[in-house]
């Protein structure tokens, strides 16, 4: 017999009022409360709290308060992860975030879902689907990433997007629902390399 937590993480229907899940949620609320009450002078303490909260973290992780999540222990982030203000991650299933990923303000990741049928939904049964984000991804402000989505490597998601389906590698995608706008090209690389050289040359 699977526990409610095992059902949850496997994408099956589960009850969130389970004792084990309540304990995990309580720990998450405590750690996020401590994190959100820190000051700018407590960067090391912030990092310690995030490492305790998350399942896995890489080096150089920085999140601007406020931050909220369901459990935290189902979130993995790679090296050089940055999330701006008001990030929310509902991690009833695994959320795997790669390296060099940047979130603008108010990015929300939702792995949680509810049955479409009202009678089943009203019983309190829920389900989830995991979310995966690749390496070198920039997600624009006020973007919502829905359950079950996979975002590839080297992707830019435009602000205000609602991502309901997978996004392939090496593209700019935007909209509600989010769609591929165009590929990221060699011309993009040349343009931004030139801008970088101008910066370092002092213009």
Query: Is 184 in the active site?
Result: no
The catalytically annotated residue of 22, 114, 121, 182 is: 114
Calpha distance 4→55 (Å, rounded): 19
Helix (H) / strand (E) containing 142: none
Burial 26-50 (b: 16+ CB within 10 A, else e): eebeebbebbeeeeeeeeeebbebb
In this structure, are residues 173 and 157 in contact, taking their beta carbons and an 8 Å threshold?
A: yes
Calpha distance 84→80 (Å, rounded): 13
Strand ranges across the sheet with 67-69 = 67-69, 87-90, 108-110, 144-145, 162-163
Catalytic residue numbers? 114
């Amino acid at each position: 017999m699977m526990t409610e937590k095992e059902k949850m993480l496997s994408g099956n229907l589960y009850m969130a009022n389970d004792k084990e899940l309540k304990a995990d949620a309580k720990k998450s609320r405590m750690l996020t409360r401590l994190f959100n009450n820190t000051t700018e002078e407590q960067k090391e303490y912030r990092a310690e709290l995030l490492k305790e909260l998350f399942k896995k973290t890489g080096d150089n992780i920085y999140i601007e308060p406020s931050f909220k999540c369901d459990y935290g222990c189902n979130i993995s982030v790679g090296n050089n992860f940055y999330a701006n203000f008001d990030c929310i991650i509902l991690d009833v299933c695994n959320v795997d975030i790669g390296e060099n990923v940047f979130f603008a303000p108010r990015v929300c990741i939702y792995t949680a879902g509810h049955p479409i049928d009202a009678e089943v939904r009203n019983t309190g049964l829920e389900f989830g689907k995991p979310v995966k984000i690749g390496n070198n991804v920039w997600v624009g402000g006020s973007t919502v990433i829905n359950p079950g989505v996979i975002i590839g490597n080297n992707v830019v998601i435009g602000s205000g997007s609602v991502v309901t389906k997978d996004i392939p590698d090496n593209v700019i995608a935007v909209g509600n629902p989010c769609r591929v706008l165009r590929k990221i090209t060699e011309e993009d690389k040349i343009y931004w390399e030139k801008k970088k050289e101008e910066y370092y040359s002092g213009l």
